Amino acid sequence: MIQTLLLTSLLFISQVSTREEKFINLKKQLENQGFQVIIELPPKRGAYGLLREADKKIWINPVVFELHIATQTLIHEAIHAAQLCAGKGKIKTLGLNIQPSNYARPFFMRYADVHRQDLEREAYAVQTQLNSYELAVSLLKKYCK
């Protein structure tokens, strides 16, 4: 019993540290590609993350650490970063052949602007993949040089 508990908590610790490593690595990669990542309340109320295209500034809402969605949030913003690089400063979709799950639909359908909807659909599509982190890393490498 105690051994099982110990094993479970060790497993939990290793999962947590992998998650933190991913966050730190992705943040570093974004910074190497000229993006500024700050852990502060985004200027848009209620947002978990935000990318300002004009100066490549990414806000990550501190609450995402408590909600345990920090890496997921950074992955989402990293896709917008790749979209910005792909459009050479004017954000555009990457044209990926993946779709977000139906559960993610309300999150991007709430945007009135159709162009914004497409950008968000793509970010949510990547974010909801099992290999979302690896995908984000490779898309950043591909489009931001």
- Residue 37, SS3? strand
Binding mask 105-134 for Zn ion (x = CB under 5 A): ---------------x--x-----------
CB contact at 8 A, 53 and 34: no
Interface with Zn ion includes 139 (CB under 5 A)? no
Number of residues forming the site for Zn ion (CB under 5 A): 2
| Minimal distance, residue 12 CB to Zn ion, in Å | 29
Containing 38, the helix (H) or strand (E) segment is strand 36-39
DSSP string, 47-94: -SEEEETTTTEEEE-THHHHTT-HHHHHHHHHHHHHHHHHTTTS----
Question: Mask of contacts with Zn ion, 40-59, x by CB under 5 A?
Answer: --------------------
Nearer to Zn ion, 30 or 123 (CB): 123
Q: How far is the CB of 80 from Zn ion (least distance, A)?
A: 6
Determine the Cα–Cα distance for residues 49 and 42; give it in Å rounded to an integer: 7
Residue pair 126/135 in contact by the 8 Å Cβ criterion: yes
CB of 51 to Zn ion, least distance (A): 8
Closer residue to Zn ion, CB minimum distance, 123 or 125: 123
Least distance between Zn ion and beta carbon 85 (Å): 15
| 114-127 and 132-143 helices, crossing angle to 10° | 120
Which residues of this protein are in contact with Zn ion, per CB under 5 A? 120, 123
